[in-house]
Chains A and B, each alone.
Chain A
Amino acid sequence: MSGGVDSSVAAAMMHREGHEVTGVTLKLWQGPDGEAPAHGCCTVSDSEDARRVAAGLDIPYYVFDYTDDFASAVVDPFVEAYRNGRTPNPCVECNRSIKFSILLEEADRLDCDLLVTGHYARVSREGGRWRLRRGVDPSKDQSYVLHMLGQRELARTRFPVGEMTKPETRRVAADLGLRNAHKRDSYEICFIADDYRRFIARRAPEAVRPGRIVDASRNRLGEHPGVVNFTVGQRRGLGVAVGEPRYVVELDPHTSTVVIGSARDLLTEAVEVEGVTWVDGAPPPESPTECLVQVRVHGQPVRALLAPLESGSDRWQVSFVEPQSSPAPGQMAVFYRGDRVLGGGTIDRLLK
């Protein structure tokens, strides 16, 4: 329970269905002196909201401290990714390493049958297998950041609000008299209070080395304060005046070089994806596999063919049926069939 409306409603719905519910807030982050951040999640006011909701439902409530695990499994890799010129997704790592790993194991030890969260996604059982599907509300769907869940995790997981739209969730919250029914949605990275660039600058000063902005032929077009300020595909804020629209097409953290080009230069035929996992535990039998691929959190799924780089490998090549505007390495490529998640992995390389 983050203290937000979604997890509060999730807890309330399970409670209403007659389950014996225990509320838990994860303390994942703290400042240098052990204080909670002033805003973002894990703030004192958020855990107080969660506590009050739990008290209203008359369920036990605890705060679990996973700050050490979060730092090593989520924050350190986040900084490391930027150091390597990538654009990481910390929510994915948190789901993978904290919520559906450490917390799920704790749920086992506490004899809890299910782990329930306020994510917008759906879990169902079809043909003897657990399925992960997009949430009913397309604008809130979070299946992208949950793609790493396998049969073991899904068997133990429920997402009650995934069956509803956000307005419906708020309505349920209001009907239940939850105090946070109208609390605003959070979009920020939970552990970053100000700007992620300042955060990276403090933890990896070398990622904020000034460098050159060049075109595809390596002609110098300008200067920049550090590659951390850029994401592949970015158009605005390049600080370079040229006639037609320009985009970041490549980042080289080693020489601190930002390569920009036209929309055409940004097109990519395929990407290499690493650490691929499958909801079913194994890839689909047919190869190459045709499916829909989503390469950005809020991106549109596009048609693509999947093939392993070597047989049995977790590195896969995703070949787009139509060339796509380059996704940012470090983001996820998530494979869908219809609204069902097949699996996914981390984009490692663009193949042009």
Chain B
Amino acid sequence: MLYLDHAATTPIRPRVWEEISALADRGWGNPTGFHASARAAKNALEEARERVAAVLGCRPLEVVFTGGGTESDNLAVKGAALAGGGRGGVVTTAVEHEAVLSSVRYLEDWGCPVTRVGVDRDGLVDPSEVTAAVNPQTAVVSVMAANNETGARQPVRKITEAVRDRPRCKALVHTDAVQAFISEELRVEDLGVDLMSLAAHKFGGPTGVGVLYVREGVALEPVTHGGGQELGRRSGTHHVLGAVGMARAMELASSDRERFHRDVSEARRRFESALLEKVPGLAIASRSTRTVQHSHLRFPGVANQTLLVRLDRLGLAASAGSSCQSGAAQVSHVLSAMGMSDPEARSSVRFSFGWTTRPSDGDLAAGLTLRALEGLL
């Protein structure tokens, strides 16, 4: 099988497994307890927090462990908008992940003023449009670091600076970096953000664990209430093994990034150049601005549903970019926001490369895709 759906989730790295298994018989305790097994778990948890902080270039207490990327996004956006009992404004983009967009719709229902900034045909936000939408009532600006479907990278640093320069504005800046982390070095000081979401399973850690970076001094309204873990910002018994797995996966992803870029960009180059030669009208989304691992392709006149079934039969796993809970391919809000028509969106397939990809996988993928396209072009 050739797995090219790494943007959905990617295999757990063997050394992450090793570390989780090694801890399994002594890290299972509840870190908030009074006794030795609690202390063991607490030590493992806090060490994981320090390791995450070291990778992000922040302080350990700025790292909040969550249940994953969606929860991190919810806490960031809702937590910032509703902080201090307010109904602060939200500025975001039309291409965010559903975790952000649904949170924003929820806030809108609760009376928060919301602005959604559009994107150009490459899926890029214009920082000046974001700043123009920010006013003194704006509580949070949420712009993703890289899009989950196309890989388009937003100018987060520029947006942060522009928002900071707005007079009388004290909006927090959040970035959903769930897709970006595996290929981009994300140091919070470089980005200048106040909040950043990460999910372990996108870069070789387990599912069910994520991080929200929360700059020191930033107050958030919690979205889960309970025992007050994570300084009251995220109640719920800690997923210690997950946190340790996440810390390890972040270290590995960071140290492996150079090789990742080399192998993945070569695999993608081979894949796309072979297809560009053979598929008339093949279009690459966000070509000049995307991450190294995304390859979102439009095959004119080919229904993505048909192509995905044929690819699956040939053992190549790809995705329509957007799917409902049943798994059916749907027209994505991202492609619509980029000005793509429904039929164009329905002929698009996302291939996403990952840490297990070798350069030769690009040739293999191109061969399988061309076979799957036989009779359809």
Q: Which residues of A contact B (CB under 8 A)?
A: 22, 25, 27, 30, 34, 36, 44, 47, 60, 62-65, 68, 106, 109-110
Contact = CB atoms under 8 A, between A and B. Distances in A.
Contacts of A22: 309
Interface residues on B, range: 10 to 19
B326 A47 contact: yes
Given A25-B326, A27-B324, A36-B326, A65 B313 contact: no
B310 interface: yes
A65 B312 CA distance: 17
Contact of A65 (B306, B310, B328, B376): B328
A22 B310 CA distance: 11
Interface string B22-62: 00000000000000000000000000000000000000000
5 contacts: A30-B324, A36-B325, A36-B326, A109-B376, A110-B309
Contact of B326 (A27, A60, A68): A27
7 nearest CB pairs, A to B:
A65-B328, A63-B328, A63-B326, A27-B328, A47-B326, A109-B306, A63-B327
B329 interface: yes
B326 A109 contact: no
Interface in B289-336: 303, 305-306, 309-310, 312-313, 324-330
B375 interface: yes
Contacts of B303: 106, 109
Contact of B305 (A47, A60, A68, A106): A106
B376 to A, nearest CB: 7
A34 B312 contact: no
A64 B328 contact: yes
B259 to A, nearest CB: 34
Contacts of B305: 62, 64-65, 106
A65 B329 CA distance: 7
A106 B325 CA distance: 22
A44 B312 contact: no
A34 B306 contact: no
A22 B309 CA distance: 10
Nearest to A62: B309
B329 to A, nearest CB: 6
Contact of A110 (B310, B329, B330): B310
A27 B328 CA distance: 8
A106 B326 contact: no
A67 to B, nearest CB: 9
Contacts of A44: 325-326
Interface in B227-246: none
A30 B375 CA distance: 32
A62 B327 contact: yes
B375 A65 contact: no
Contact of B330 (A36, A47, A65, A106): A65
Contact of B375 (A27, A36, A109): A109
A65 B324 contact: yes
Given A65-B324, A106-B306, A109-B306, A60 B330 contact: no
Nearest to A106: B306
Contacts of A34: 324, 330
A9 B313 CA distance: 23
A30 B330 CA distance: 12
A20 to B, nearest CB: 10
B31 to A, nearest CB: 36
A107 B326 CA distance: 20
A64 to B, nearest CB: 6
B18 to A, nearest CB: 31
A49 to B, nearest CB: 12
A60 B324 contact: no
A60 B325 CA distance: 17
A64 B329 CA distance: 7
Contacts of B325: 36, 44
A62 to B, nearest CB: 6
A36 B330 CA distance: 13
B148 to A, nearest CB: 18
A305 B295 CA distance: 63
- Tell which of B303, B325, B376 has the most Cβ of chain A within 10 Å: B325
B51 to A, nearest CB: 39
